[in-house]
Amino acid sequence: MPTPEAATVAAELRTAMGKLTRRVKQEDRIPHGQVAVLGVLDRDGAMTTSDLATDQRVRPQSMARAVGLLLEQGLVTRRAHPTDGRKSLLELSDAGRDALEAERGRRAGWLALAIEAELTEDERELLARSAALMERLAACQGLPGRS
């Protein structure tokens, strides 16, 4: 069982990370759901609409609508599945990759400006060290006494 101090820090960190994530997403010009699909295709490569729906925890019909919009915009392309003729694979187009990079750049750019405007030099150094700690926490797979 975590100490009360660790539980308090965990709750405050989760809340702050949620607020910061929502604020950074406000910089997006492409709807968040579509950016998420582009990001998955960028990280994991070609997938079926069904696989994307499972990955994003949405209904296949909802994913089909999002994919349709991405196809119309030329941000993804469709090709035949190599082993199952009933399926097709979606992959990031060059335009999609460019759009995703632009979204990521806007997010990072806003955050960099906010860091410079709002934080002192000491706070920036602390934040830089904290980022490494958050990476360690994100990589934590199993904890003693947890299944």
DSSP sequence for 57-120 = T--HHHHHHHHHHHHHTTSEEEEE-SS-TT-EEEEE-HHHHHHHHHHHHHHHHHHHHHHHHH--
Q: Give CA–CA dist 96/94, Å, rounded.
A: 5
pTM listed for this prediction = 0.78
| Angle in degrees, CA 55, 14, 57, rounded to 5 | 15
- Which residue's entry shows tokens 């958050």? 134
Tens digit of pLDDT for each residue in 39-82?
A: 999 999 999 999 999 999 999 999 999 999 999 999 999 999 99
The DSSP bridge pattern shows strands 76-80 and 88-92 to be: antiparallel
Q: Residues 32, 72, 108, 8: what is their CA dihedral angle, to the nearest 10 degrees?
A: 10
Higher pLDDT among residues 142 and 57, named by residue = 57
Crossing angle, helix 4-25 and helix 94-118, to 10 degrees? 120
Tens digit of pLDDT for each residue in 91-109?
A: 999 999 999 999 999 999 9
What are the structural domains, with CATH classification, of the chain? 4-139 (1.10.10.10)
> Which pLDDT score, from 0 to 100, does residue 32 have?
87
